[in-house]
């Protein structure tokens, strides 16, 4: 059993109990009280373990170990909103049946704690890194990366490192991420109110609307709930990079109105039936995914925010060309260019070797993902864990968890990885 397994489990539970999803900001708490308190908790723990720490105005924190050329390990403590459908308290940090439940258990509080204790284990056995390890923990990874931009104002971001916020065995490519807001004018509107979704990077799990007229048979045919004058649908959230793992609640609500409304039929055709074949855009890193995750009705139009993950070798201009053919106004809300590295680079070969040694799986190869991590903030950065092939998808979903067995494996993997990369 890894030396610090029990302590790591306890501290992961404590970290989960902070609701660090974005809330009202203040000058002292730029992403809300929950994120600020979670960062303070993490840095206090690092100090107790004997490390130098820095808190950059509540935006982002840093734990330092060693001297020399800087090496980054990038984690985040913010989480997406809990959403609906939980059978466990989303911020309870409870342990049941060998699992730690709560929002952030896998993404990314669990791995962040594991990296910290891996560094502690190295320190305790007298390891002296030849590099200056900068364990950087942000509070805005899920919704904008303002934390990284703030860090760059006060400290130098290393060129090389890894982020324990993706998949094993090691990530050589991440798709580009484009968030756009589309504006569909309705003309004669069949509804008074329409709203759904909690975050651009989560599959919409709840959508509701107030029709101008209600047909009970139509409500039933679309599988909707009717309460008073509102219709609604409960779907299933999932990470926007894998929309097929969720059930989008927007479509059933739109289908209620689509029978007699051409503009709404166009929305369904464009964004759900893929009229323009966005999903045909592909390369070795996978197909483009498009997930309509936020919707609202305002001033005679339906506004929809879509999360688009496009293949790593495809220029973003090709995606914009497709979007322009939809024939509606759209605006870019955010864009993160893709990450792409040589699979035979020293960083990837080292991490792949660590994974093979710790798991005994000699057949694994570097992979590409649709998710986006802090690794792309680095000139030479890659994703390394915590998810493994065959895992139940839990990130951005109800009842997110990490197994205690996985915590133990992460402690071993990250201790070995840090040692090999900084000796």
Q: Residue-wise pLDDT tens for the chain (423 aa)?
A: 688 999 999 999 999 999 999 999 998 999 999 999 999 999 999 999 999 999 999 999 999 999 999 999 999 999 999 988 999 999 999 999 999 999 999 999 999 999 999 999 999 999 999 999 999 999 999 988 999 999 999 999 999 999 999 999 999 999 999 999 999 999 889 999 999 999 999 999 999 999 999 988 999 999 999 999 999 999 999 999 999 999 999 999 999 999 889 999 999 999 999 999 999 999 999 999 999 999 999 989 999 999 999 999 999 999 999 999 999 999 999 999 999 999 999 999 999 999 999 999 999 999 999 988 999 999 999 999 999 999 999 999 999 999 999 999 999 999 999 999 999
pLDDT of res. 1: 64
Show the tokens assigned to 241.
């990079």
Active site residues: 78, 141
Q: Which value, to the nearest 10 degrees, does the dihedral of the CA atoms of residues 19, 167, 334, 340 take? A: 160
pLDDT of res. 371: 84
Question: Do the beta carbons of residue 309 and residue 391 sit within 8 Å?
Answer: no
pLDDT of res. 354: 98
Radius of gyration of the chain, Cα coordinates, nearest whole angstrom: 22
pLDDT of res. 372: 85
User: What are phi and psi for residue 339, nearest 5 degrees?
Assistant: -110, 135
Q: Would you put residue 212 in left (φ > 0), alpha (ψ -120 to 50) or beta?
A: alpha
Question: Do the beta carbons of residue 110 and residue 232 sit within 8 Å?
Answer: no
Give the residue from 165, 36, 45 showing the smallest Cα distance to 108.
165
pLDDT of res. 362: 94
Rounded Cα–Cα distance for residues 383 and 174 (Å): 9
Rounded Cα–Cα distance for residues 30 and 24 (Å): 8
The separation between CA 128 and the C-alpha centre of its own chain, rounded to angstroms, equals 33
Non-local CB neighbours of 235 within 8 Å, separated by 6+ positions: 203, 204, 205, 206, 207, 246, 247, 248, 249, 252
pLDDT of res. 285: 92
Query: Which domains, ranges and CATH numbers included, belong to the chain?
Result: 5-174+339-422 (3.40.630.10), 176-336 (3.30.70.360)
Give the residue from 74, 105, 138 showing the smallest Cα distance to 381.
74
pLDDT of res. 216: 87
Question: Do the beta carbons of residue 421 and residue 115 sit within 8 Å?
Answer: no
């Amino acid at each position: 059993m890894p030396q610090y397994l029990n302590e790591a489990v306890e501290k992961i539970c404590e970290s989960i109990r902070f609701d660090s999803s974005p809330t009202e900001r203040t000058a002292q708490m730029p992403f809300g009280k929950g994120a600020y308190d979670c960062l303070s908790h993490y840095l206090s723990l690092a100090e107790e373990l004997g490390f130098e720490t820095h808190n950059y105005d509540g935006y982002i924190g840093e734990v330092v170990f060693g001297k020399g050329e800087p090496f980054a390990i990038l984690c985040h403590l913010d989480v997406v909103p809990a959403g609906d459908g939980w059978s466990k308290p989303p911020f309870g940090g409870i342990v049941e049946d060998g699992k730690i439940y709560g929002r952030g258990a896998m993404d990314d509080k669990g791995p962040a704690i594991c990296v910290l204790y891996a560094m502690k284990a190295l320190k305790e056995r007298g390891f002296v890194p030849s590099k200056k390890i900068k364990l950087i923990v942000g509070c805005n990874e899920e919704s904008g990366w303002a934390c990284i931009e703030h860090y760059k104002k006060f400290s130098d971001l290393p060129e090389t490192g890894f982020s324990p916020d993706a998949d094993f065995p090691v990530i050589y490519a991440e798709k580009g991420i484009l968030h756009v807001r589309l504006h569909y004018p309705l003309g004669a509107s069949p509804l008074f109110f329409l709203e759904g979704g909690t975050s651009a990077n989560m599959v919409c799990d709840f959508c509701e609307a107030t029709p101008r007229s209600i047909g009970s048979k139509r409500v039933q045919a679309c599988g909707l709930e009717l309460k008073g004058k509102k219709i609604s649908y409960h779907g299933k959230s999932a990470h926007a990079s894998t929309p097929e793992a969720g059930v989008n609640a927007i479509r059933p609500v739109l289908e209620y109105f689509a029978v007699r409304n051409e503009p709404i039929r166009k929305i369904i055709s464009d964004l759900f039936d893929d009229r323009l074949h966005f999903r045909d855009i592909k390369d070795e890193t996978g197909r483009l995914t498009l997930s309509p995750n936020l919707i609202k009705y305002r001033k005679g139009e339906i506004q929809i925010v879509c999360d688009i993950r496009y293949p790593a070798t495809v220029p973003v201009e090709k995606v914009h060309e497709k979007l322009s053919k939809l024939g509606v106004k759209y605006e870019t809300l955010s864009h993160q260019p893709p990450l792409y590295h040589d699979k035979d680079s020293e960083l990837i070969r080292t991490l792949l070797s660590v994974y093979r040694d710790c798991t005994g799986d000699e057949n694994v190869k570097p992979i590409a993902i649709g998710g986006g991590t802090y690794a792309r903030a680095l000139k030479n950065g890659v994703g390394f864990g915590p998810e493994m092939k065959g895992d139940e998808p839990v990130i951005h979903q109800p009842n997110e968890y990490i197994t205690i067995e996985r915590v133990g494996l992460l402690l071993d993997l990250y201790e070995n990885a840090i040692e090999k990369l900084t000796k």
